[in-house]
Amino acid sequence: MAQHSTSPLEADIDARLLDFVRNQVDTFVKWDLVRFFHDNPYAVDTATNIARFTGRDSLTVERELGELAERGVLETSTAGEKRIYRYVKDLPTRDMIQRFVLACDDRNFRVRAINQVIEGLQ
Evaluate whether 23 touches 71 at the Cβ level (below 8 Å). yes
| pLDDT top residue among 49 and 120 | 49
Strands (E), the chain: 44-46, 74-79, 82-87
- Mean pLDDT of the chain, nearest integer: 88
The whole model's pTM is what? 0.85
How far is 50 from 58, CA to CA, in rounded Å?
Answer: 8
Report the share of the chain in percent with pLDDT over 90.
Answer: 68
Q: What is the pLDDT at residue 16?
A: 87
Give the C-alpha distances (Å, rounded to integers) separating 107 from 97, 104, 112, 121: 17, 7, 9, 21
Q: What is the pLDDT of residues 33-70, one digit of tens each?
A: 999 999 999 999 999 999 999 999 999 999 999 999 99
How far is 33 from 64, CA to CA, in rounded Å?
Answer: 8
The residue-averaged pLDDT of 92-116 equals 92
User: In one letter, which amino acid is 54?
Assistant: T
